[in-house]
Chain A
Amino acid sequence: MFRSRTPVLLIAALLAPALIGLVVFRLYPVALAVSDSFFNMVRGQQLFVGFDNYLSLLSDRTFWKSMQVTFWFNLLINPIQIALALGLALLYVQQFRGVTLYRVLFLIPIGVSLPTAVIIWRIMLTQDGLVNGLIGIAGVPAQPWLTSESLALYSIIAIATWKGISYWMIFIIGGLQTISPEIYDAARLDGVKPWQRLIFITIPLLRPTLLFVLVADVSINFLLFAPIFMLTQGGPADSTNVLMYEAYKSGFIFGDMGRAMAIIVVVVAILLIIVAAQFKLLSGREARQ
């Protein structure tokens, strides 16, 4: 009889908006993608094709090349972004002359919307743009930043990193502030060197924050679309053709929704595996503490 006092209805009512949002904006689209991936449009008819769309991806060279690009992109961008965000956060909490200017400078990218940032960078990276002008002063010849097969992906990584790190930095600053200063004081008394403080105190105590940043950053970068759509359309020679762009092209340019949805389901599956692995690796030791 005591249990009836639990305000079940209230809990349900309070959770309802979030749950409805989750179902409508997350689960329903995923279910729709899965169901559409089993169909093909042939001569105006929706035909059930079972796993054909997935099977044809197995022998699809464009798909595998795109998979390779997606993994290479993520292997580079995620460690770079997190390392830089951590470095910036450590600088941010220091006290030194001009720290306010530095703080403002690094918060600017957050205030710029992604499409705006991408347009500004596109102008700066043209053949006659600011970046080539600056390296020209140093005597370096102008580089085809976005139009060369060997540079385009790295240019996109640089732009996305510029845009992304200060956002992640804020989370890490939050994490740094939860570390009690007494621990550092004790360490200082014990004569611990600054780099040891970082490795043995700061990073282990930041683990929950870093886990969150890692998971969120990997999902965002795995699903990154706007800079590629706006700057390179997957080119040159497919060097920036990530799976998200390949799926977009398949569905919205070629009208091949079956293939597009199959690619999306593969992307979601890969992402789930990666996130699960991250949780396991990073929260394992946390549980023992």
Chain B
Amino acid sequence: MKTITFAIAGLAASLLAGTALAQDKTLNMIVIEGGDTAAMQAVVDAYKADHPGIAINLQPYPFAQFFQVAELRLRSADAGIDLVYVDAPLLASYASRGFLSPIDAGIDTSALVPAAVEAGQYEGTQYALPINNSAQVLYVNNALFEAAGITPPAGLTKGETATQADIDTLASSERWTWEQVADAARKLTVTDNGRTTTYGFTVEQFGELYQLQPFGESLGSPVIGPDGYTAKGYLDSEAWTKGATYWSDLYNAWAVSPKSLGYGEAASLFGNGQLAMFAGGTWNLPILSATDIDFSVAPYPYFEGGSVVTPTGSWYVGVNAASANQAEAMDFAGYLTTSDAGTKVWFDSLQQLPTYKPLLDTISTAPEYDAFPQNVFRLGVYDSLNTAKARPVTAAYGQLQDAFRTAFVDIANGVPVADALASAVQKFESAASRVAQ
């Protein structure tokens, strides 16, 4: 049965390839629905102006289904996709299974942030190129702080301007600690008759490794060991136990954070004035600027006595190893990530922190980035150069992400910290051992 399916797929593919050769080339790309698709379409339109023979067809999928669709289509060597949107930490998993073609040596990556380029490599080979970076900040509702009589953390506010030098000072010497956040959050949380009407603090991505990796890293321990398959001694270390206890207290002992927030719910609670602070991505700025909330943006916090570590990493573009249009797909990937024109169109459309250095220089120096909220990207520039810590590189990233999320969701729901971490270590290591064999 399988052979027949493949034969039919092969026949269909060759027929399609035949038609494509007769006319122009069409590339297919899977992307995430929404803003990302709109931004990619803008880049595609710009690309088409210079490359009239190439058509690029975007196939958008909702975020919640994207990973499964990408996994299944790549695993079945589906020649119907040429370009793939790759989440940074999944790169090793894709590359180790031969899903992606090595990036063409002709594509010059010297203008990209080195850490971002490295995160696109697996065992020394470049498999994907960074489309943009990400940065996390602390959003603060000024009115709620004022009402509670607390001084908010130093940050960037509407109506004020800040140079890159001002922001470097802010980020290096006026950054709040998680202890200060907890202190303020307890005073800001309001309960009425057993129901919480105003929450003090939350994170945007509930229980996610991307968001919470700095909890343990700031206190000195990575999530897993350098081999990519060991969690014992790392995720259950003293540092992670302390970080996870803080997480537990947010929900249980102090009850300052709402449980089980879905995607985008933190921003909407904040936008309604029911949340005093949240740690979230710079991508929330356009939505929040459209509300009448009086807010400011402070640097991502760290633990007292620990080091400053901030989340980073975002989306990459790779070429499907099964694609019949390798050269054309590579050319578009290079345009999207390493050209002045492509990176500018992408940034203008999506407003995500770039990885293209000339564009980062513009953000740091051009006067149009002096004003709020554009100057928040300068905070992103500082963090990406000084404090950003990429997620661990392992072919078992999916397993790690799941074990981590399960443990932190359980901890928020009251499972003892030591039990949850021990269970996460056991589950990750047993699932990862099946990848490492």
Residues of A within 8 A of B (CB): 28, 32, 40-44, 56, 60-62, 127-128, 142, 144, 147-149, 233-238, 249-250, 252-256, 259
Contact = CB atoms under 8 A, between A and B. Distances in A.
13 contacts: A28-B1, A41-B75, A60-B430, A62-B427, A149-B415, A235-B410, A236-B409, A236-B415, A238-B423, A252-B68, A252-B71, A253-B68, A256-B434
A253 B402 contact: yes
Chain A facing B: main interface SS: loop
Given A147-B259, A147-B260, A235 B409 contact: yes
Contacts of A256: 431, 434-435
A256 B413 CA distance: 29
Contacts of B97: 41, 43-44, 255
B358 interface: no
Contacts of A62: 426-427, 430
Contacts of B435: 256
Contact of A128 (B195, B402, B413, B414): B195
B195 A254 contact: no
B98 A43 contact: yes
Nearest to B416: A237
A237 B431 contact: no
Contacts of A259: 434
Main secondary structure of the interface of B (DSSP, over half): helix
B398 A253 contact: yes
B323 to A, nearest CB: 15
B402 A254 contact: yes
Interface residues of B toward A: which range? 20 to 34
Nearest to B427: A62
A28 B413 CA distance: 42
A236 B413 contact: yes
Nearest to A128: B195
Nearest to B2: A32
A28 B97 CA distance: 27
Nearest to B419: A237
Contacts of B96: 43-44
Given A41-B97, A235-B406, A254-B431, A144 B194 contact: no
B426 A144 contact: no
Interface string B399-437: 100100010011001110001100100110011001101
Contacts of B93: 255
Nearest to A238: B423
Contacts of A253: 68, 398, 402
B434 A56 contact: yes
B210 interface: no
Contacts of B409: 235-236
Contacts of A233: 406
Given A147-B259, A237-B423, A254-B431, 5 more contacts: A144-B414, A234-B406, A235-B406, A255-B97, A256-B435
B99 interface: yes
B98 A255 contact: no
A52 to B, nearest CB: 9
A238 to B, nearest CB: 7
A46 B419 CA distance: 36
A144 B434 CA distance: 35
A236 B430 CA distance: 19
Given A254-B398, A254-B402, A237 B410 contact: yes
A55 to B, nearest CB: 12
A66 to B, nearest CB: 11
Contacts of B431: 250, 254, 256
A253 B405 CA distance: 13
Contact of B399 (A43, A234, A254): A254
B426 A237 contact: no
Contact of B402 (A60, A237, A238, A249): A249
